[in-house]
Amino acid sequence: MQELPAYVTNYLRKFGVTKWQLELNSEKRFQNIIVIPAIQESENLPKLLASLLQCDKSMFTKTLFVFVINNLESSSPEVKKDNLRLLQYLRNVLRGNADELSQEIISAGMNIGVVDASSVGFEMPEKDGGVGYARKIGMDLALNYFDYVSSQPRILVCLDADCTVSPNYLSALNEIAEKKYSAGYFEYEHILPADDDERSAIITYEIFLRYYVLGLKLAGSSFAFDTIGSTMYCDAESYVRIGGMNKKKAAEDFYFLEKLAKITDINKISSAKVYPSSRRSWRVPFGTGQRINRYFAGTHNEDSLYDPKSFDILKQWLKTFFGDDILTAEKYLDLAGQIDSSLSEFLLNQSFPEAWTKIINETGKSDQLQKQKYFWFDGFRTLKLIHYLRDTRYPMINMFEALDQLLVNYDVKVAQSNFVSDWQTQFEYLKILRYFSVK
């Protein structure tokens, strides 16, 4: 067994999970480890494996795929039965006695590891068990299987069992290594269903996601990046530095990338893509699956977006707050009020005067103060500001109207339908947003 570096052993001693083990049939150590949580995914996982087999097979020798089959003790019998079926399937792959797809996996040299977080006695804890915990189990265990002798970066990647990937997905890991990216994410495109209503639901949701990131980008925010769990990556060193994956049952991806953004650059891989599922789902309290559920429930107006004025206010505030000058809390509040009264109200509600005064009193050097600005007005507080503006002064507006106002910055205009729910027009907007997301 290769000796682990001190920073890894220290992390595992303080924060690592200890209840679970990784089953695999190799003594090798790896440069890339891809962690894939799965719950009731026996139908979808073979599709993911088939898409991975379309990738550059030379990458298999230095890549390990870790499948974390997970559920709670309170999970339904259907979930547990499906997970058992999936465990048996993957264990058969490890033993080399499975179906035709498995034989292809074996002959291609794909390295597979399995974590049983679903059988009796190995379930995830009721309080914390969810997608964040499942990712953490796999990522913590993965630290034991990197090649720490090699000078090459050790890349830890997140993927989901209901996704597929582009044929150049694994080759893109070489780009991450060559450019020495410490953290980031892959480009993504949701799979579009055949049904018109389901297609409209997922297009509307992806527009919402990309519109928000583009608004942050135009505002000059340092947190203008997509936060989709199945697209994230980081190196082992960065993973340890931020204390590993959180245990959140939803939005684990948002908080994970936000913590990484505070210690390193977030780099997007646009050359390869992840294709997340667009299905309805019960698996997380919010996210893609729940947004699709909500669309069909009709409980929210899904054909609306944040008022672009909110991003204008954010842009002015970022320019003011992140300027070179170090001002008093009172002066910042005064300037915020000149930008918009709702902005100064928000800062007061966030206890900005007390927080900033404390930061000034406890931080000596100006460069450290600039860093503290970044830590205080982070991605979460940015989102809270946008929501505060939405709730107090600038409510959501018609989707097409919002898109047209934002896309003026790119001199783009789409010929509109009379119906906001027309998926074909929505898709024209989505294609534009996808185009600018890689620029």
Give the per-residue pLDDT at 288: 52
Is the CA virtual torsion 107, 108, 109, 111 positive or negative? negative
Cβ-count burial 201-218 (b if 16+ within 10 Å, e if not): bbbbbbbebbbbbbbbbb
From start to end of 304-367, where are the E strands?
304-305
Q: Half-sphere exposure of residue 388, counting CA atoms within 13 Å on the CB side?
A: 19
Q: How far is CA 279 from CA 207, 242, 288, 414, in A?
A: 16, 32, 8, 28
Instruction: Using pLDDT thresholds of 50, 70 and 90, give the confidence band for residue 286.
Output: very low
- Residue pair 274/206 in contact (Cβ under 8 Å)? The answer is no
Separation of alpha carbons 197 and 295, rounded Å? 9
Q: Express each pLDDT in 4-29 by its tens digit.
A: 999 999 999 999 999 999 999 888 99
The answer to whether residue 263 scores a pLDDT higher than 50 is: yes
Domain 6-193+225-295: assigned CATH number: 3.90.550.10
Q: 191: which 2 tokens?
A: 């799979």
The answer to whether residue 96 scores a pLDDT higher than 90 is: no
**pTM attached to this predicted model:** 0.92
If you compute the radius of gyration of the chain from its CA atoms, what whole number of angstroms results? 23
Q: What angle do CA 220, 222, 207 make, to 5 degrees?
A: 75
Give the per-residue pLDDT at 284: 47
- Residue pair 84/40 in contact (Cβ under 8 Å)? The answer is no
Q: Express each pLDDT in 36-50 by its tens digit.
A: 999 999 999 999 999
Q: Express each pLDDT in 221-243 by its tens digit.
A: 999 999 999 999 999 999 999 99
Q: Residue ranges of the domains in the chain?
A: 6-193+225-295, 308-392
Q: Express each pLDDT in 120-176 by its tens digit.
A: 999 999 999 999 999 999 999 999 999 999 999 999 999 999 999 999 999 999 999
